[in-house]
A and B are shown apart, each in its own frame.
Chain A
Amino acid sequence: MGDALVRFGMNRPWLVTGVIVAVSLAFVVLPALPSLWPDAFPRLHPVQVDTDPENMLSREEAVRVFHNRMKQILALHEMVVVGVVNDDHADGVFTVETLANVYELTEFAKTLTGENVGQDDPYAGVKVVDIIAPSTVDNIEQGGEGEVRFEWLMPAPPATRDEALAVRDKALRIPFLEGTMVSEDGKALALYLPISSKDLSYEVYTALRAKIATFQGSEQYHITGLPVANDVFGVEMFKQMAISAPLAMLAIFLLMLFFFRKLILIVSPMIIAMVSVIFTMGLLVVTGNTIHIMSSMIPIFIMPIAVLDSIHILSEFFERYQETRDRRTTMENVMRALFVPMLYTSLTSAAGFASLALTPIPPVQVFGIFVGIGVMIAWVLTVLFIPAFAMLIPERRLQNFGAVHHEDEEKTLSRGFLKWLGELTFHRAKLVLAFAAVLVLVTIYGISQIQINDNPTRWFKKTHPIRVADRVLNEHFGGTYMAYLALFPEGDDPGALPPPPAAQAAETPAAETGAPSLPGGLDAGAVAPELPEGLGALNDEPPSRADSAAPALPAGLGGEPEEVEEPAAAPVPAAPPAEEVFKEPEVLRYIAELQTHLRSTGIVGKSNSLTDIVKTVHRELIDGAPESYRVPDSPAAVAQCLAQYQSSHRPQDLWHMVTPDYRVASVWVQLTSGDNKDMSKVAAALDDYITRNPPPRALKHKWFGLTYINVVWQDKMVWGMAEAFMGSFLVVLFMMILLFRSGLWGLLSMIPLTVTIGLIYGVIGYIGKDYDMPVAVLSSLTLGMAVDFAIHFLARSRTLYARHGSWEKAYPYAFGEPGRAIMRNVIVIAVGFLPLLAAPLVPYITVGFFLASILFASGIGTLLFLPALVRVAEPLLFPKSKVCSITCMCGTCVLTGVTGLLLVAVNVYQFLKVGITTLTWVTLAVLPVLAIGCFLMSRREKCRVQCDEPK
């Protein structure tokens, strides 16, 4: 079958090339058309970018559903935070000049809605009514004797220094603003701009930056907030893909040129890599998948794997060409030797990645499946196109190709090194293995030091404006990372409630009144309201509601009578309203205790709650004295304070803290760190406190907010990845046993992989690098790469052993061409991806660094530890009996069975989430049955005849 495929390519090189070109074009055009002209191609899927880490969780995920539901019922939005800092001026940012700029910036931010941010909905964009800025928040303070004053904190930019400082002093008296909008030292201000949708944060960010650039003041501006970080990341990610992927290609190209010297020939692997990427990404988009942070890394993963096989072929072709000087014969020989190893390496890599489909994280599933597909595409392309391409090169251009130049520096060097390496593993095998054992111990310690943590802000380099903003603002304020704590009475389930049906009703009138305002509000005829009920329309016919050129007359003046007026005297006896828990003074005081405790973690810099509002309003309604800053003693007093709080410019503010039925309250928690591990600590501290100090009423608490969502998906990812990795490890082992028809060889081939994973994780533990998303994904790449080397090396070694009769005679050959191909691969791919280290985004740097490390580690694993093991275990590995079917070899049979069993167990566990204990017992019960079965089978008469025959 292999031969046929290869021959097909060699016989019809132009056809193969043509088909590849055509399919590539199709995969470029199909996603491009709907992206460029979305209206013309509504049925095709355009390129969609998704940089929202929230999407690491499925939309149906309970935490996410709760998060969105809470955001809805508390009318909370993600926020863009603009920090204004002046550390040099004695008055900080409270100068006439800076406050004028802040005022102007706020006014500007108010315009970032509707079409100004490219949206049809005029209220999309910045939620103007919820902006927190000096000129948009209320001040409440004492007026004259016995008088309370409600007013804008900064109705207009101050004209004098005193006025400017007064803004600061007033703001610092309001607990809600201090540490949130104004820093304690007066050196910094923060503006909070809620946005209707996270997708708009980049538009808002860019517009704000442009506006800020026009300011002359000495203050600095910093823009941050999680949605900004996510959006900016998405944009940079694309720039990054456009730069680093081609740069990596270039580096690989140059290195191959250095190794093979023949420009025309090495073009083919480049084409394979490129076409594989185009096919895969095209397929991804065409099937309607979004390009997520994860899937944006697909090209970087496919490229090295796609090049890998080509390098094996070229390397071999390079070595053998001069023997026959005939490209067809050489290629046929090369492909015959490499077809099976290449098929297996591709299958194992693909299986390794595809196993990621078992993780519970949708973007990771997509990533795994498509890299898997990409690997198989690369394999098909390699076996079809590389031979075809070789046939397209005129023989004369290959004249001096291949291993003719014995003085070739690279070759002498590598040959010398490989020869030395081979001798080392043969003569000092035990020493090498002892070294390996020490290494294992050291890495186990390293692994124990691994810290699981992630922080989307840290995806930027330290010098990136987002990181700088993050640092500066968290120095001045109580923290810019928002998490919300929802509190509600036990028995209530606010998260599960479906959206109230009335929500639709509320939308309709808005649309209805929005319509007449369309023509710019000047054409009075068009905006005229309907006459109300009761106003006698002068024309005979009452104006219909549809042509709302004029207002409808009200009932009583000749307008349409109102829908039947209910008799006021017959009220339906309603069920007694649910108790308004969050008007209870003791509950409010308990919330204050929780806040105090949160603060004591050192991670929470500030928190705001309903309690803070009640206390502040109470203080000002009484006398403004610090003693009056307390929760009053009756629910009625609380209610009356809050009613006054709402008699402000921002009555809606209250409903961000509590729902109108007073059954769900939220505490806004500001964390100074967006690290998942810090959020986890805060959550644990709170749980602990609540257990020790139960609330006065049976209350439940639940976190939400992006900072918390990140913790949840990361936890899922880490364990999901670990399970997926276990699954793919078993898949690969299973395949290896089948390939080599030997349990021992199967295990052996897993060694480079195991060593590599151990080393990588060990290093991560030692250097204190957080185990985050990119690192987790790299594990699967390791699986693909390291097994690849092991297969090539072991498969060839076995053939060589058979030919030469002993390892002593065979190993020099193993360290010849196969060793050289592995070394070339290590160098080409490791060095080829070093340009990623210059990337401005940390995940790419991580990938670049670890890709190189993985390659070197698996190279060492394959070329150092494998041959040493083969040397030591030679009698076991090369028994003097014939290779026979698996069922005849008791050990291999048991191992195959165990692997298969575990494989099933791991998968069943992932899908059904059966308790690990149940499954463990089942597995343990099946094991002896399996062993006995294998024992009996291997003692069969047929086996004795088949296997005991001398070779």
Chain B
Amino acid sequence: MKRLHRILWGGLLAALMLAPAATVAAQELSADEIVRKAKHMAYYQGKDGNARVKMTITDDQGRKREKELTMLRKNMDDQDQEQRFYVYFHQPADESGTVFMVWKHVGKDDDRWLYLPALGHVKRIAASDERTSFVGSDFFYEDVSGRNPEEDNHELIKTDDTYYVVKSTPKPENKAKVEFDSYTSYIHKATFLPVSMQFEQGGKVYREMKVLSVKDIQGYKTTVKNSVKDLSRGSETILEYTSVKYDIGLPDDVFTERYLRNPPREHLE
């Protein structure tokens, strides 16, 4: 009898201890929270950072083109909102020195600058559509800078052992600005890294972003290889991030017009 009691109590105790943990994970996080966390993991880890990126664009005929760039990033607040980017192109040789700079804002249009060395010209790029190709690749500008979660309604449609599966649909006022009807994100439960995003249009997936490799860098779970595949074009772009560094103490003035013509060499290697 005693033994039985012990077993029962033990079982109950175990159940009491484990059950809340499970329910908290499943119930307490709303779809919006999951998406916010995912956004942080994808775009806002650390205070700042840099990464050398190799971009490989493969078209539907298997022809490859490569570009190499360095991306500097700095968070301007701790709300995962204001942020600055500085993208410097190393390769191909004839595009070397091209700089693309962004002051990212939330709630209003980003400021973007472009410097083309061969034309000797700094040009502001009018903020408009963010769903245009990033330098001819299958990544959109928005894939690189991060889509604002406020633009969409999110619904947690499934949770399994590994993923939160969130379906996002643009809010009615944003419908006309995007080409997709909805997209489904597979967000890794343990890390909140969005492992895959599948964009749908007219009932079929036509575009897919995938994380292919993740590394722990300075304690940050970091995507070091990802891809976007455009099924309607049959092309794919893979980004490989080498020498990622966080919290390198980038000064604010790197992200100013002055540095477009005179790149901050020490941060570009």
Contacts and interface: CB of A to CB of B under 8 A. Distances in A.
A532 B200 contact: no
Contact of A647 (B60, B124, B136): B136
Interface stretch (A141-149, A159-167, A464-472, A877-885): A141-149
A534 B215 CA distance: 6
B248 interface: no
Nearest to B128: A151
Given A524-B184, A551-B186, A583-B94, A537 B162 contact: yes
B45 interface: no
A618 B123 CA distance: 12
Contacts of A622: 119, 121
A150 B135 CA distance: 13
A640 B121 CA distance: 11
Given A129-B232, A514-B231, A149 B126 contact: yes
A634 interface: yes
B interface, size bucket: 35 or more
B128 A150 contact: yes
B137 interface: yes
Interface string A453-485: 000000000000000000000000000000000
Q: Max chain B CB contacts within 10 Å: which of A72, A520, A556?
A: A556
A910 B86 CA distance: 68
A73 B61 CA distance: 8
Contacts of A660: 59, 63, 65
B189 A649 contact: no
A555 B214 contact: yes
Interface string A860-896: 0000000000000000000000000000000000000
Contacts of B210: 529, 532, 551
Contacts of A521: 184, 198, 200, 203-205
Contacts of B149: none
Interface in A497-529: 499-507, 509-510, 513-514, 516-517, 520-521, 524-525, 527-529
Interface string B125-138: 11011011111110
Given A156-B176, A557-B214, A502 B61 contact: yes
Interface string A622-638: 10000000001011111
Interface in B38-72: 58-65
Nearest to A637: B118
Contact of B190 (A156, A520, A528, A536): A536
Nearest to B208: A513
Contacts of A644: 114, 116
A322 B237 CA distance: 91
Given A128-B232, A521-B203, A647-B136, A500 B61 contact: yes
A505 B235 CA distance: 11
B78 interface: no
Given A147-B124, A622-B119, A528 B212 contact: no
Given A513-B229, A637-B119, A501 B62 contact: yes
Contacts of A72: 61
Given A129-B232, A524-B158, A557 B203 contact: no
Contacts of A553: 162, 188, 195
Q: Max chain B CB contacts within 10 Å: which of A111, A539, A557, A649?
A: A557
B214 A556 contact: yes
Interface in A368-393: none
A556 B158 CA distance: 24
A557 B191 contact: yes
B41 to A, nearest CB: 11
A649 B225 CA distance: 24
B267 interface: no
Contacts of B122: 146
B10 interface: no
A161 B13 CA distance: 74
Given A535-B191, A535-B195, A640 B165 contact: no
Interface in A199-245: none
A640 B119 contact: yes
B249 to A, nearest CB: 25
B26 to A, nearest CB: 14
A502 B125 contact: no
Contacts of A524: 157-158, 165, 167, 184
Contacts of B121: 621-622
A98 B236 CA distance: 37
A929 B229 CA distance: 76
A636 B94 contact: yes
Interface residues of A, number: 90
A155 B160 CA distance: 39
Contact of B189 (A538, A621, A635): A538
B124 A534 contact: no
A527 B61 contact: no
B268 interface: no
Contacts of A638: 94
B256 interface: no
A114 to B, nearest CB: 8
Contact of B60 (A506, A555, A650): A506
Contacts of A621: 116, 119, 121, 123
A452 B180 CA distance: 52
A501 B61 CA distance: 9
A898 interface: no
B215 to A, nearest CB: 5
Contacts of A537: 162
A123 B232 contact: yes
A649 B131 contact: yes
A146 B189 CA distance: 46
A146 B124 contact: yes
Interface string B88-100: 0000101100100
A568 interface: yes
A772 interface: no
Interface string B206-230: 0010111111100001011110010
Contacts of A533: 212-214, 225
B161 interface: yes
B11 interface: no
B102 interface: no
B93 to A, nearest CB: 8
A647 B144 CA distance: 13
Contacts of B204: 114, 122, 517, 521
B160 A527 contact: no
Contacts of A807: none
Nearest to A141: B126
A568 B242 contact: yes
B198 A506 contact: no
A639 interface: yes
Nearest to A139: B128
Given A535-B191, A555-B212, 17 more contacts: A114-B204, A146-B124, A149-B128, A521-B203, A521-B204, A528-B165, A535-B195, A551-B186, A554-B214, A557-B190, A568-B242, A580-B94, A618-B119, A621-B123, A635-B94, A638-B94, A650-B133
Interface of A: 72-73, 75, 110-111, 114, 122-123, 128-129, 138, 143-144, 146-152, 155-156, 499-507, 509-510, 513-514, 516-517, 520-521, 524-525, 527-529, 531-539, 550-551, 553-557, 562, 568, 580, 583, 618, 621-622, 632, 634-641, 643-644, 646-652, 654-655, 659-661
Rank and list the top 9 A-B pairs by shortest CB-CB distance, nearest first: A502-B62, A534-B214, A646-B136, A143-B126, A529-B196, A149-B126, A637-B118, A639-B94, A556-B214
Interface of B: 58-65, 92, 94-95, 98, 114, 116-119, 121-126, 128-129, 131-137, 141, 157-158, 160-163, 165, 167, 176-177, 184, 186, 188-191, 193, 195-196, 198, 200, 202-205, 208, 210-216, 221, 223-226, 229, 231-236, 242
23 contacts: A75-B59, A138-B132, A144-B126, A150-B128, A502-B58, A502-B63, A510-B229, A517-B198, A529-B196, A533-B213, A533-B214, A534-B211, A534-B214, A534-B215, A536-B190, A553-B188, A580-B94, A621-B116, A638-B94, A639-B118, A640-B118, A643-B136, A646-B136
